[in-house]
Amino acid sequence: MTGHLSAKPPILVILAFLTLGSVLTMYPPAAAAASVDGVLKLMPVPASVTVRDGRFRVDENLTIVPPYTGDPKGVVTSRAFKAAARFMSRLAGRTGLFLKQDFLTAQTPSVEGGIRYAYARPGALLPNEDESYALTVAPDKIALDAKTDIGVLRGLETLLQLLSADETGYYFPCVDIADKPRFTWRGLLIDVGRHFHPVDVIKRNLDAMAAVKMNVFHWHLTEDQGFRVESKVFPKLHQLGSDGMFYTQAQIRDVIGYAAERGIRVMPEFDIPGHSTSWFVAYPEFSSAPGSYGIERKFGVFGPAFNPSDERIYPFFDAFLKEMSALFPDPYLHIGGDEVEGHQWEANPAIQAFKKKNGLADNGALQAYFNKRLLKILTKYGKKMVGWDEVFQPGLPNDIVIHSWRGPKALVEAALKGYQGILSNGYYIDLCQPAEAHYLNDPLPPDSPLDDRQKALILGGEATMWSELVTPETIDSRIWPRTAAIAERLWSPASVTNVDDMYRRLGFVSVELEELGLLHLKNPDMLLRRLAGDPRIEPLKVLAEAVEPLKNYQRHGQAAYTSLSPFTRFVDACAPESLAARAFRKNIDQFLAGKDPKLGRKIGATLALWKANHVLVLPLIAASPALREIEPLSLGLARACEVGLEALDRLMKGQIQPAAWAEEKGKILAEAAKPAAHAELAVLSAVTKLVEASAGPAK
């Protein structure tokens, strides 16, 4: 134990906990969603919305009607009709209405009204396909029209978000919406190499992607830690390189079909020539250094890499990529190409002789040679190559796609030279950055130096969920809801940049996503109950709301993480971004700007709650060895809040604190700011502002 504050009288602890609601209401509550007009909840924001007078009332007689084609069987099996069926099922789930329509069979109601949708043709799962739609809600009917059935899917998601409620019941507000995406490539990468994520994890995230109009699932299938796809041509790859955790080809086809029904493309990635240790477990002879290989358990950048000078690897890749090209119908295939460490290449005399013979000045040129050979193979099988920044080398044809992870500079340089590009830098959701940082990160910022022709080469962006620190239990909480903010950046007009409004709507979307089976709201409590061995976890929840995991890659410096490490600790139950801390910071800023006594009392109640929480956490820590690492966090929060209350009291009274006082309190806050349990207190910057303000000149 690291010590604790003296216990407070029970009555003060009880009073502090009565303010728990004031902290929790910093999150938009689920119950409030029904009382906010649906137009105000839309995410992504449509291109154009016109609100009309009136409401379309929803009752058990609601029907949804497909366009009549004369082929009932064809209608029922169409992508749009299946989406309409899911829409009705989700609507019933949200409202509790016993909808009478047998919406799983094609039928034409005898009366006018209800929801009618129409489209001109089935959409192709290709970049630049038309996803636009027009939605009109009138008091007596709803019309959804699109050029493709994919547009119908996007419109149905908007209509479901419009659902609202009043004292009479449920309704859709009357609106005219004309909508289309800003970017054609709106993706989510899930890394299943470092930690394997079963099919059910993939499917629930595909459902969430569809709900926020994302359309590319980037499946990162191979890594040093695992080869995750069944190969019938080279079965040793998955048999020896996966620990038995891989997708069968039947499962992959199932996921591709599932995604296609939601208007989502599936692009595979096989990361080569680096990040490839798992390949060499089966085929060590293809590595650039001799020796037996085992599946890598640690995380980082490792030396093993394919030997580009070995002519045997190209027939191998030809056969493998032929098999994978047949399995994955998407026209794009990602070859990775990032972070080739290079030591194996430098230490191999045959590779050095090959470079000299072929005039390859450095490892970048050697990798470009390798990529050109792969490009010929992929072109033969009708695939377009996508690769990370490192594949952007002189001499490669312009029909490859540059995927930028290191920064927008490479994206701009590629576009200037005629290459298409995708942005992921700034969308690394595994780094636990706030949604705001992702939201304000734009593939085409206002100061872009590109002209209109070059801007058209920027296809869009992808959120990237690298999985060093996530398992199927926690991955949803690291993806959602922040990825919905990225989805809006990639769909909505560039002028939609109101951060506060984004957070307001993000709360509603987060609750709505939960109906799809996502665990981002549910599993943190489960993890805390597991750690405590007790269902009474309120003190742990209060602490978790004031805490965030360490940002960027700092958490790796706290322990020797491996793919076999437990990811069930307190930090794993903490959200990547504390919305309670964000709301607290905004309250502090507002208070310091105007010294509103009412707001000051609200801030004081929150500080009192967090301060009083420590004595309630201590018994849980004492009963659970797994929780003992959080005591410095809890103690630090209590001490920081004690400082905050003292500063707030002086500010409320208009009193000035001497500089020495601020210096003394700053030391307490600095101690509380030290990481513990691989996490940090997210509220300290706001408390620091209180201290600094209370030591300033009187107003």
Active site residue 339: yes
Shortest CA distance to 17 belongs to which of 615, 549, 572?
Answer: 615
Radius of gyration of the chain (CA): 28
* Tokens describing residue 279: 């390949």
Distance CA 107, CA 103 (A): 8
User: If 0-12 CB within 10 Å is exposed, 13-18 middle and 19+ buried, where does residue 215 land?
Assistant: buried
Which H, E and C letters describe 329-371, residue by residue? CCCEEECCCCCCCCHHHHHCHHHHHHHHHCCCCCHHHHHHHHH
- The residue annotated as part of the active site, out of 60, 296, 311, 339, is 339
In this structure, the number of other CB atoms found within 10 A of the CB of residue 139 comes to 14
> Cα 626 from chain centroid?
28
C-alpha distance from residue 117 to each of 39, 147, 281, 365, 505 (Å): 20, 11, 53, 53, 27
Shortest CA distance to 222 belongs to which of 287, 293, 296, 292?
Answer: 296
Could you give the dihedral angle defined by the CA atoms of residues 394, 272, 431 and 298, in that order, rounded to the nearest 10 degrees? Answer: -140
DSSP structural state of residue 534: S
Distance CA 563, CA 577 (A): 24
DSSP per-residue letters across 191-214:
E-SSS---HHHHHHHHHHHHHTT-
Q: Which stretch of DSSP H or E encloses residue 526?
A: helix 523-532
- Map tokens 């059935």 to a residue: 149
Q: Which residues are the active-site residues?
A: 339
